[in-house]
Structure 1
């Protein structure tokens, strides 16, 4: 991940599903965009979402990180699935309306990277 990034100038676009003409990204395009994110982001095995697991010390820091992800998501209007417990927080991005990944997932992941780091 670099400080200057192609994702930084992009905006989330509301997506109402495949009927809006937005198709899930190809695996090749998803991998290309993944290269613009923090190295802890990974493409899930099914290729339909990306995940980042952040290790923290204790439970309160995991809750804080989950809340930070939720706050960022509300600002963007694009919400991840979040799992957390003692010592970890996992953030999953996918675009449920199209059943796969969209550029919105990578834009929001990048914004979360900037908020965390």
Structure 2
């Protein structure tokens, strides 16, 4: 489900309900005060981090929804929100659930 400005931003109650169905994602306000879904992952080495990022990028392309990513030796950070509405939408939680299915 591609992100677009046509989707409404979720209310706090909806955010909490959907987040409870995910695996260790946290709600964080970014530097602009926008609520985001964020997950910090640890890996054994750089190769595993890169493998995870490559698998995630394939999912993001398929979904037409692209998270903000950072990674390095033994870690990856994923931040998701719908830029068009400056908040969280159902698409963000769908993408997060798909990311949770990645195995490395």
- Which has a greater percent of strand? 2
Q: Provide TM-score, normalisation by structure 2.
A: 0.88
Structure 1 residue 71 corresponds to structure 2 residue 35: no
Structure 1 residue 35 corresponds to structure 2 residue 20: yes
Question: What residue number does 1:84 align with?
Answer: 71
Q: Give, in whole Å, the separation in 1 of the partners of 2:20 and 2:103.
A: 18
Contact 2:10 2:90 in 1 (8 A): yes
Question: What residue number does 2:102 align with?
Answer: 115
Find the residue that maps to 1:62 and give its secondary structure.
helix
Contact 2:2 2:63 in 1 (8 A): no
How many positions carry a matched residue from both structures?
Answer: 101
Alignment deviations for residues 27-50 of structure 1 (CA, whole Å, 9 cap, x no partner):
221111001111x21111446110
Structure 2: stretches of 5+ with no match in the other structure: none
CA RMSD between the two structures: 1.6
Offset at 1:14?
4.5
Contact 1:41 1:52 in 2 (8 A): yes
Show structure 1 runs of 4+ deviating over 2 A: none
Q: Provide TM-score, normalisation by structure 1.
A: 0.79
Question: What residue number does 1:62 align with?
Answer: 49
Offset at 1:108?
0.7
What are the residue-to-residue correspondences of 1:17-56 with 2, within 5 Å? 17=5, 20=6, 22-38=7-23, 40-45=24-29, 46=33, 48-56=35-43
Q: Give, in whole Å, the separation in 1 of the partners of 2:77 and 2:13.
A: 24
